[in-house]
């Protein structure tokens, strides 16, 4: 990893939430909850339309912004040694189909730790997502680990 990317903005983009992408995520998780698929069921549960599941932020990040390879390039990391170490979400508003989201991804920190097999490097990426009304809807923090050279 390249320590000089600390503090840099990796991406700044908009993402239009698509109904079928929410359903695709629920199907991939094998989560049968109808509030991710069926408008009537979502309305019965008190929502205006279907909503995005709690980990949909990953899809917004990677489908709308830099994908895995691009992310590794941005961090100067070796794709073969990259793992997801931690993930955190803060939920401020629900996400619905048709929401036009604005995302920024910043490298909040780059740090290293001495592990059993050498130096492990970490990147903390902070994603801030706001909607078309300018309201913040979701904050995501991802810790990406680059394992030691073997």
Partner 1 sequence: MPPIISFEDIKVGDRIPPLTKDPINNVQLVRYAGASGDFNPLHFDPSIGEAAGFGGVIAHGMLIMGFVGEAITNWIPNHHLKKFRARFTGITRPGDIITITGKVIEKKETDRTILCSVAAKDQNGELKIKGAFEAQLPSRNQGI
Q: Kindly determine how many residues on this chain lie close enough to bind partner 1 according to the rule CB under 8 A.
A: 42
CB of 92 to partner 1, least distance (A): 8
List, in sequence order, every beta strand (DSSP E) within 1-150.
9-16, 82-91, 100-115, 118-130, 136-146
Burial environment of residue 110 by CB neighbours within 10 A (0 to 12, 13 to 18, 19 or more): buried
For residue 101, give Cα distances in angstroms to 3, 11, 68, 113. Answer: 29, 13, 20, 35
Name the 3-class secondary structure at 28: helix
Return the residue matching tokens 């994603």: 127
CB of 19 to partner 1, least distance (A): 13
Nearer to partner 1, 95 or 110 (CB): 95
CB of 95 to partner 1, least distance (A): 10
**Residue 26-65 contact track with partner 1, rule CB under 8 A, x = bound:** -xxxxx-x-x--------xxxx---x-xxx--xx-xxxx-
Q: Can residue 67 be called a binding residue for partner 1 (CB under 8 A)? A: yes
Nearer to partner 1, 89 or 126 (CB): 89
What are the tokens at 116?
């059993």
Beta bridge partners of 112: 121
Among 41, 139, 123, 36, residue whose Cα is nearest residue 85: 123
Interface residues for partner 1 in 76-95 (CB under 8 A)? Answer: 79-91, 94
CB of 60 to partner 1, least distance (A): 9
CB of 51 to partner 1, least distance (A): 6
Binding region for partner 1 (CB under 8 A):
21, 24-25, 27-31, 33, 35, 44-47, 51, 53-55, 58-59, 61-64, 67-69, 79-91, 94, 150
């Amino acid at each position: 990893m390249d320590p000089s990317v600390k503090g840099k903005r990796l991406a700044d983009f908009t993402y239009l939430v698509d109904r079928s992408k929410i359903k695709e995520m629920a199907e991939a998780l094998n989560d049968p909850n109808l509030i991710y698929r069926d408008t009537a069921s979502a309305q019965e549960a008190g929502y205006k339309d279907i909503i995005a599941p709690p980990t949909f932020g990953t899809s917004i990040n990677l489908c709308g912004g830099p994908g895995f390879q691009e992310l590794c390039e941005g961090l100067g990391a070796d794709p073969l040694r990259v793992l997801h170490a931690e993930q955190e979400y803060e939920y401020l508003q629900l996400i619905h189909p048709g929401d036009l989201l604005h995302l920024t991804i910043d490298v909040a920190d780059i740090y290293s730790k001495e592990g059993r097999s050498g130096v492990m490097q970490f990147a903390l990426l902070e994603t801030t997502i706001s909607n078309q009304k300018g309201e913040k809807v979701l904050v995501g923090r991802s810790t990406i680990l680059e394992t030691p050279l073997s």
